[in-house]
């Protein structure tokens, strides 16, 4: 029997549809960018090849997106740089999610002293703004991609740890977990089947958001000259490299800037950070 | 009462850890990484051509880099506690003086940026919060999502490109007049405004749904009166709480924006010393920024406590 929907239900349906649309657009954009970045080596010229007759070539003349101050193909460098940015961001996010979830589950399961210790560790790490800690670590160890990755993992894990712990704590007090313990299941089994299953959806959303933010941070560090060493391309570093030529050929700055923002934007579309209420 | 004391203790603990971590990390870094610090310093100070073994040895002796590691470490920590941060390895200036000088500029920039962000976010957020789900709210929510995904240095570049290069209204970079402050402050402020306008909007929408608010309207107050008398103060609490989170964003942004605009603040100092591996200055700058961040969070806690008597009974999680 067809039932008449109330206004509230209709609004909920609208919101859901709107969110689904956002997610689809986000996924589409992300797949396009990943496709471009992955197929880069086959569809673009060598990103390190300097062609001095083509210095500052306009887009569409000799190269698809023009050439930079050394006559290198911008399209090729975008693909190569994007592969670096996305690959390093992925490493960072996977690393911090693994560490965060592991420590969060440990804290919630063992409680007491273990919990206190881990939460104090979270407090300590959160006492630094992200890029500052990354600068401190990357800077004093002499920079390089490894230093940047480690630094960003180090600033990334507390968020996942806190959420994992909070969800795990509320799950552990449920009757089905207690009955699982009484039934004699091993801790590993309960953690995996009962608790991790509750944690996973939330963490997936957070990690998608975190990925967008990591791309921002990595490119900001690249822009500051910490991370990959030139001539290795990276989106943020490409912007910094082309900065002196901003007046004459703004394209060189605008192309990586636009791609970078679009990438981050599409990840935010998927995870939709602003539709949720900010944590108080 | 217990909540606020606990929260402040937590932040104080963070402050102590900041000091210890910065000191330790800098110390470990300088001693474990490959490369000879004395050599780096010599090159930074006298250029590569004028550096030879004798100069390097002299610097090693002068900077105390030949003493045992444990001794160097305890000396550094003891000095940090007494707020004597030593001298820059490169320019030989007192780190404390260097920090004080650069801090003035960072403070100027951060304060202006915060003012800019409040000036944008307050009317914007209120407009969205008064009609939640309306056309203004939906559109500005999209604009905000777009704004937070644009890196700060890109916003800065676009502003330079449009306001300085195309229109010639404002200077590109430097710090000689108030006009130089405009673009950096907007760059920093716009990202903050995007997020805080959303926080203001959601918290105002929440308050407007509350019983006491609707009762205010029912007893005959004008919509404006209800908003100012019952809405603002209650909606302000999450907004102020969020300032603590924003402080991190602000301090991160300061490094990027100061570098982009050649603004001589702490962020630029930190980056320059990172690139020159000037460990005392790196440590000093990180210490200052870390402690600043902790101080902001303690202040935010206290303001919220003063603003909201209910906090005494509520579970605080900030």
Average pLDDT over residues B82-89: 70
Over residues A42-70, mean pLDDT: 67
Q: Does a structural domain hold residue A228?
A: yes
Best residue in A30, A120, A123, A129 for a mutation probing chain B (most B CBs within 10 Å): A129
**Tens-digit pLDDT profile for residues A193-229:** 888 888 888 888 888 888 888 888 888 888 888 877 6
Nearest chain B alpha carbon to A122: B14
| Distance separating alpha carbons of residues B216 and B230, to the nearest angstrom | 8
pLDDT of residue A123: 80
Q: Spell out which residues of chain B touch residue A253, defining contact as CB-CB under 8 Å.
A: 157, 161
Q: Are B192 and B121 in contact (CB under 8 A)?
A: yes
Q: What pLDDT is recorded for position A94?
A: 93
B88 within 8 A of B273, measured Cβ to Cβ: yes
B241 → chain A, closest CA residue: A280
CATH number of residue A244's parent domain: 1.10.3720.10
List the structure tokens of B289. Answer: 């920024």
pLDDT value for A96: 92
Q: Which of B120, B112, B181 is nearest to B147 (CA)?
A: B120
Range of the domain at A114: 32-37+74-275
Residue A98: the pLDDT is 93
Nearest chain A residue to B296 by CA: give it. A127
Average pLDDT, chain A: 79
Q: Looking at residue A142, what is its pLDDT? A: 66
Report how far residue A191's alpha carbon sits from residue A177's, in angstroms, rounded to the nearest whole number: 9
φ, ψ dihedrals at A186, nearest 5°: -75, 160
Position A276 pLDDT exceeds 60: no
Q: At CA A35, angle to CA A29 and CA A40, rounded to 5? A: 130
Kindly state the percentage of chain A with pLDDT values over 90.
4
- Percentage of chain B exceeding pLDDT 90: 0
Is A247 part of any domain?
yes
Q: Nearest by CB to B275, from A225, A239, A267: name it.
A: A225
The reply to whether A120 touches chain B by the CB within 8 Å rule is yes
Highest mean pLDDT among A99-103, A272-276, B23-27, B119-123: A99-103
Contact at CB, A142 and B161, closer than 8 angstroms? no
Rounded-to-integer distance, Cα B121 and Cα B235, Å: 14
Looking at A117-126, B20-29, B251-260, which range is the least confident one?
A: B20-29
For residue B120, pLDDT over 70 is answered with: yes
- The verdict on a CB contact (< 8 Å) between B282 and A139 is yes
Q: How far apart are CA B38 and CA B58, in angstroms?
A: 9
Q: How many domains does chain A have?
A: 1
Asked whether the predicted pLDDT for residue A255 surpasses 50, the reply is yes
Flag whether pLDDT at A280 surpasses 70: no
Give the residue on A whose Cα is nearest the Cα of B203: A277
- B268-286: per-residue pLDDT in tens? 888 888 877 777 788 788 8
Confidence at residue A13, expressed as pLDDT on a 0 to 100 scale = 67
**Cβ–Cβ below 8 Å for A129 and B153:** no
On whether any CB of chain B is under 8 Å from the CB of A216, the answer is yes
Least confident of B36-40, B114-118, B148-152, B215-219: B36-40
Contact of B277 with chain A, judged by CB distance below 8 Å, is answered with yes
Instruction: Provide the phi-psi class of A6: left if phi over 0, else alpha when psi is between -120 and 50, else beta.
Output: beta
pLDDT score recorded for residue B258? 85
pLDDT of residue A97: 93
Which residues of B fall within a CB distance of 8 Å from A250? Answer: 161
Lowest mean pLDDT among A97-106, A234-243, B42-51, B140-149: B42-51
pLDDT at B243: 76
Closest approach of A66 to chain B, Cα-based (Å)? 19
Report angle CA B57, B62, B68 to the nearest 5 degrees: 85
**CA B150 distance to own-chain centroid:** 18
Mean pLDDT calculated for residue range A18-27: 81
pLDDT of amino acid A20: 79
Structure tokens at B199: 């926080």
* B279 interface with A at CB cutoff 8 Å: yes
3-state SS string for chain A: CCCCCCHHHHHHHHHHHHHHHHHHHHHHHHHHHHHHHHHHHHHCCCCCCCCHHHCCCCCCCCCCCCECCCCCEHHHHHHHHHHHHHHHHHHHHHHHHHHHHHHHHHHHHHCHHHHHHHHHHHHHHCCCCHHHHHHHHHHHCCCCHHHHHHHHHHHHHHHHHHHHHHHHHHHHCCHHHHHHHHCCCCHHHHHHHHHHHHHHHHHHHHHHHHHHHHHHHHHHHHHCCCCCCCCCCCHHHHHHHHHHHCCCCCHHHHHHHHHHHHHHHHHHHHHCHHHCCCCC
In this complex, do B141 and A275 lie within 8 Å of one another by their Cβ atoms? yes
Residue A48 maps to a domain:
no
* Residue B106 exposed, middle or buried by CB count within 10 Å (0-12, 13-18, 19+): buried
- Phi then psi for residue A67, to 5 deg, are -130, 155
CA distance A257 to A65: 14
Count other C-beta atoms under 10 Å from residue A168's C-beta. Answer: 23
Residues of chain B with C-beta less than 8 angstroms from the C-beta of A132: 251-252, 255, 270, 286, 289-290
Q: What is the predicted pLDDT for the residue at A277? A: 41
Chain A residues with CB-CB distance to B238 below 8 A: 278, 280
In-domain check, residue A1 = no
| Predicted pLDDT of residue B318 | 39
Q: What is the pTM of this model?
A: 0.79
B249 and A129 within 8 Å at the Cβ level: the answer is yes
Interacting residues of B216 by C-beta distance below 8 A, sequence separation 6+: B225, B226, B229, B230
CB-CB: which of B21, B154, B248 is closest to A129?
Answer: B248
Q: How many CB pairs under 8 A join A and B?
A: 153
Interface check for A137 against chain B (CB to CB < 8 A): the answer is yes
Q: Is the pLDDT of residue A3 over 70?
A: no
Minimum distance, in Å, between the CA of residue A269 and any CA atom of chain B? 8
SS (H, E, C) chain B: CHHHHHHHHHHHHHHHHHHHHHHHHHHHHHHHCCCCHHHHHHHHHHCHHHCCHHHHHHHHHHCCCCCCHHHHHHHHHHHHHCCCCCECCCCCCEHHHHHHHHHHHHHHHHHHHHHHHHHHHHHHHHHHHHCCCCHHHHHHHHHHHHHHCCCHHHHHHHHHHHHHHHCCCCCCCCCCCCHHHHHHHHHHHHHHHHHHHHHHHHHHHHHHHCHHHHHHHHCCCCHHHHHHHHHHHHHHHHHHHHHHHHHHHHHHHHHHHHHHCCCCCHHHHHHHHHHHCCHHHHHHHHHHHHHHHHHHHHHHHHHHHHHCHHHHCCCCCC
A78's CB contacts (< 8 A; 6+ apart) are A36, A40, A65, A233, A235, A238, A255, A256, A259
> Is B7's Cβ below 8 Å from some Cβ in A?
no
Parse chain B into domains and list their residue ranges.
1-90+287-318, 101-275
- Residue in chain A closest to B166 (alpha carbons) equals A247
**Per the domain annotation, does A152 fall within a domain?**
yes
Q: Which two tokens stand for residue A192?
A: 């995996």
**CATH architecture classification, B101-275:** Orthogonal Bundle (1.10)
Contact residues, chain A, for B198 at CB < 8 Å: 274, 278
Report CA-CA distances (Å) from B131 to B126, B138, B203, B205, B238: 9, 10, 12, 8, 19
Highest mean pLDDT among A156-160, B34-38, B142-146: A156-160
Q: Is residue B301 scored above 60 in pLDDT?
A: yes
pLDDT tens readout for residues A172-196: 888 888 888 888 888 888 888 888 8
């Amino acid at each position: 029997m067809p039932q008449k929907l109330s206004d509230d239900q209709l609004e909920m349906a609208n919101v859901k549809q709107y969110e689904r649309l956002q997610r689809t657009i986000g996924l589409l954009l992300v797949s396009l960018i990943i496709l471009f970045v992955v197929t880069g080596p086959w569809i673009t010229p060598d990103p390190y090849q300097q062609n001095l007759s083509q210095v500052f070539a306009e887009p569409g003349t000799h190269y698809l997106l023009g050439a930079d101050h050394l006559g290198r193909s911008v399209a090729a460098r975008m693909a190569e740089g994007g592969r670096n940015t996305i690959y390093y961001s992925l490493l960072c996010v996977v690393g911090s999610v693994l560490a965060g979830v592991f420590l969060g589950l440990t804290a919630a399961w063992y409680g007491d002293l273990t919990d206190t210790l881990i939460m104090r560790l979270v407090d300590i790490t959160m006492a630094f703004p992200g890029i500052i800690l990354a600068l401190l670590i990357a800077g004093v160890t002499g920079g390089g991609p490894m230093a940047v990755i480690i630094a960003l993992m180090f600033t990334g894990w507390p968020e996942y740890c806190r959420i994992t712990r909070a969800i795990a704590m509320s799950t552990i007090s449920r009757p089905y977990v207690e009955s699982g313990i009484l039934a004699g299941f091993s801790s590993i089994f309960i953690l995996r089947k009962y608790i991790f299953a509750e944690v996973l959806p939330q963490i997936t959303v957070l990690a998608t958001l975190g990925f967008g933010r990591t791309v921002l941070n990595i490119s900001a560090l690249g822009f500051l000259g910490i991370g990959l060493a030139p001539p290795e391309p990276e989106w943020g570093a490409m912007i910094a490299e082309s900065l002196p030529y901003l007046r004459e050929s703004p394209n060189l700055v605008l192309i990586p800037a636009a791609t970078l923002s679009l990438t981050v934007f599409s990840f935010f579309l998927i995870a939709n950070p602003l539709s949720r209420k900010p944590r108080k | 009462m217990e909540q606020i004391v606990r929260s402040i203790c937590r932040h104080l603990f963070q402050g102590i850890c900041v000091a210890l971590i910065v000191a330790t990390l800098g110390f470990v870094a300088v001693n474990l990484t490959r490369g000879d610090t004395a050599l780096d310093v010599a090159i930074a100070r006298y250029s590569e051509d004028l550096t030879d073994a004798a100069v390097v040895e002299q610097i090693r002796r002068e900077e105390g880099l030949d003493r045992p590691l444990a001794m160097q470490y305890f000396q550094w920590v003891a000095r940090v506690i007494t707020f004597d941060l030593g001298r820059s390895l490169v320019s030989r200036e007192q780190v404390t003086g260097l920090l004080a000088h650069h801090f003035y500029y960072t403070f100027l920039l951060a304060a202006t940026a915060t003012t800019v962000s409040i000036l944008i976010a307050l009317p914007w957020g209120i407009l969205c919060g008064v009609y939640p789900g309306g056309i203004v709210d939906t559109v500005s929510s999209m604009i905000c999502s777009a704004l937070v995904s644009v890196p700060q240095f890109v916003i800065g570049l676009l502003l330079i490109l449009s306001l300085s290069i195309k229109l010639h209204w404002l200077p590109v970079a430097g710090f000689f007049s108030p006009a130089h402050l405009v673009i950096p402050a907007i760059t920093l402020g716009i990202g903050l405004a995007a997020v805080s306008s959303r926080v203001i909007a959601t918290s105002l929408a929440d308050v407007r749904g509350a019983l006491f608010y609707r009762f205010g309207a029912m007893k005959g107050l004008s919509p404006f009166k209800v908003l100012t008398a019952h809405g603002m103060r209650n909606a302000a609490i999450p907004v102020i709480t969020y300032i603590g989170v924003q402080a991190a964003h602000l301090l991160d942004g300061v490094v990027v924006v100061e570098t982009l605009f050649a603004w001589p603040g702490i962020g630029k100092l930190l980056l320059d010393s990172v690139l020159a591996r000037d460990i005392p200055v790196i440590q000093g700058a990180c210490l200052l920024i870390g402690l600043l961040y902790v101080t902001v969070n303690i202040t935010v806690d206290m303001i919220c406590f003063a603003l909201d008597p209910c906090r005494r009974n509520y579970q605080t999680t900030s």
